Structure 1
Amino acid sequence: MPHPSQTDPAAHPDNRIGAEPPRTRAWQDGKVVAEGFPVVELSEHLRRGEVVWVDVCAPAEHELRVLAGELNLDPVAVEDAVSPRERAKLDRYHDYFFLNLYVPHVDDGALSLHEISAFVTERAVVTIRQDRALGIDALIERWDDGPELDRPELAGNTVAVLLYGLLDLVVDRQLDAAQAFDDEADELEGLLFDENASLRGVQQRSFRFRKDLARLRRITLPMREVLNTLLRRDMGFVPQALIPYYQDVYDHTLRASEWTDSLRELITNVMDSRIAMQGNQLNEVMKKVTSWAAVIAVPTAVTGFYGQNVPYPGHDTHWGFLVSTTIIALCSVGLYVAFKKRNWL
């Protein structure tokens, strides 16, 4: 069953924008008064004094012309909204601002980033997702289940409440990703002293972990600047009653960025420890191999110096040559197997 906020493509065939039908919703005094209406009716709801939310998924630049015309959006901001891999940021325009954020997801130790942009005006919030993997239902549930819209002192600040829900969701997902990487770091630490662990496998996981952690850090660090800008008094966007909520998101942002920094130091220490352990292991192997070589070198030197070459069973015969060759091959294979079992080769 489609969500009520999703517009009906059969009833409004000209309303399709992007990879799926847009989602729309309107609030009056903090209460939902309409949803699932076509985007062309956006200006009508705004004239009624309602707060409007529109969500589109993976639109082309020309498909946003209706929204750009309704909200008087700058072409540069529209281009940023549809361009993938824009950095996380907040840009201020004349009567609105543009946000670009990333929602991380960690699956089996692998990090994927889902980009979401938002235009925030005085009475409208437009979210633009770059792919379908970022489900918007979680954001709607947060708005519906959160007590903020039901509080009378916040009913007139619906846009700020909606943006708070979006930022809170994004930062919570970033904290979840940091927690997943923390668990991955614990596993890597456990493998560090596991003699049965594959050295190549541990190295591959470590390098992938470090690369993904750097990507996570690139999207968490700018969130501090975003929240700082929104909380500035000259912005006048966050009302006094909502400052504790935004401050809480800011604290979570600090925690996420500090967590990623500590994990970077941890994985660096793990990799350095692994290299040091490899060096120590190599020294042990060289010590043992050198000792055996010294033991074998003494009789070899004595017999070679005196030229001792006595007849042995099968001397000057074909079968004697085959026997000696077989002994050499078996001893070589035996030494190879013994060294391999001890991880000397």
Structure 2
Amino acid sequence: MTAKISCPVHSRLYVEGRVVEEDFGYDALAGHLRDRPDSVGWLDLLEPSAEDLAAVTAEYGLHPLAIEDALAARERPKLDRYPDHLFVNVYAVYFDHDGGSGSLGAHKVEISAFVTERVLITVHKNEGDVGKLVERWDADAELAAVGGVNFLLYGLFDVVVDSQYAAARQLDEAMDGVEDSMLGEGGAPRAVRMRGFALRRSLAQLRRAVAPMQDVVAEVNRPDSDLADDRLRPYYRDVEDHAERALESIEHSLVRITELLDADLNEQSNILNDITRKLAAWAAIIAVPTALTGYFGQNLPYPGFGQPWGFGLSTTLIVVMATGLYIYLKKRGWL
């Protein structure tokens, strides 16, 4: 008797590329596969527990090391071969941009997959958009009819790589506004610089998810591999090409934002040099009469000299002049 699992599931059964059953319980999948020898299935588990994956392992003979990787968070993107199945770990990426708060970033959805002879088992380690994956499979029923489980794996790769490329392009477009502000005269405000640093951090995080994808897809599409037949190989090569383009876009954006931040730092240094030069000039101007009067010991009578109100007058002049200088320097942004 098939064990039950407690996590949310999505499921489908395909026969010759057509969906004949869907959204059935986990315990029904094994029976559907036995009743229809020509069928293949897809099972998606959302945040399964160790007990859930233990039940799947008992039913489909999954390797303990693959189960360990499926339970661990933030595994690197990879493809591992085991005697009876493949294990794949990838990241779908969605770009978050809240114009009101100014927050942005690439939200990664970690997906592990077990590729068996007749079943593709996907494990979403956090909430993701399963609908995009289903739409991709439904968009090419003719190829699905000849591809079986390997077509399902191709569709997963295609959706993941497309999401990564889209996020890379959106991050690059978000950089345009930062670039305009940073290249303005006088250097960028602190908020713009912080946005630039946030973009660079998001790009670095995205690169870690995207960089290995080309090798992962190429491993499936090797000439000596029996995973992809001649009909699927061109499609896998297309995914490889998209993965390469996504990585190139990220590398270009990283160079671009780094150069922008360096240019802004140089502009800030130039402004600081100008301010330092002006302060030094004023200090020199003030130092000359101060040095002369100090050298000759000049103590001249001032208005109110020897009178009680003279102290108040001199104190008022000092406060007014110091306040005026403070306001001037504050408006110039020197304080």
Query: Does the TM-score normalized on the shorter chain lie above 0.5?
Result: yes
| CA distance in 1: counterparts of 2:73 and 2:112, whole angstroms | 10
| CA distance in 2: counterparts of 1:273 and 1:196, whole angstroms | 11
2:21 to 24, 29, 34: 34
- Matched with 2:236 is 246
Question: Are the aligned partners of 1:24 and 1:36 in contact in 2 as well (CA < 8 Å)?
Answer: yes
- Matched with 1:258 is 248
| CA distance in 1: counterparts of 2:234 and 2:309, whole angstroms | 93
| CA distance in 1: counterparts of 2:281 and 2:257, whole angstroms | 36
Matches within 5 A, 1:1-345: 15-18=4-7, 21-47=8-34, 48-49=36-37, 50-108=39-97, 109-132=104-127, 134-144=128-138, 146-147=139-140, 149-151=141-143, 155-194=145-184, 199-345=189-335
More moved, 229-238 vs 32-41: 32-41
| Greater RCO structure (CA 8 Å; 6+ sep) | 2
After TM superposition, give the deviation of residue 195 of structure 1 in Å. Answer: 5.3
Structure 2 counterpart of 1:210, which letter?
R
More moved, 53-62 vs 200-209: 200-209
Distance 1:196 1:296, change over 3 A: closer
| CA distance in 1: counterparts of 2:324 and 2:178, whole angstroms | 34
After TM superposition, give the deviation of residue 159 of structure 1 in Å. Answer: 1.2
1:164-204 Cα offsets, whole Å, 9 max, x none, are 11111111111111112102322221121345876332332
Where does structure 1 differ by over 4 angstroms across 4 or more consecutive aligned residues?
A: 195-198
After TM superposition, give the deviation of residue 111 of structure 1 in Å. Answer: 2.6
- Matched with 2:101 is none
Residue 225 of structure 1: SS of its match in structure 2?
A: helix
TM-score (norm 2): 0.91
Question: Are the aligned partners of 2:62 and 2:84 in contact in 1 as well (CA < 8 Å)?
Answer: no
| CA distance in 1: counterparts of 2:44 and 2:21, whole angstroms | 15
- Matched with 1:3 is none
TM-score (norm 1): 0.89
Residue 303 of structure 2: SS of its match in structure 1?
A: coil
Structure 1 counterpart of 2:226, which letter?
G
Number of residues of Structure 1 aligned to a counterpart in Structure 2: 325
Q: Calculate percent identity across the aligned residue pairs.
A: 42
Residue 231 of structure 2: SS of its match in structure 1?
A: helix
Question: Are the aligned partners of 1:39 and 1:67 in contact in 2 as well (CA < 8 Å)?
Answer: no
| CA distance in 2: counterparts of 1:279 and 1:156, whole angstroms | 63
| CA distance in 2: counterparts of 1:247 and 1:61, whole angstroms | 35
Gaps of 5+ in 1: 1-13
Structure 2 counterpart of 1:279, which letter?
S
Gaps of 5+ in 2: 98-103
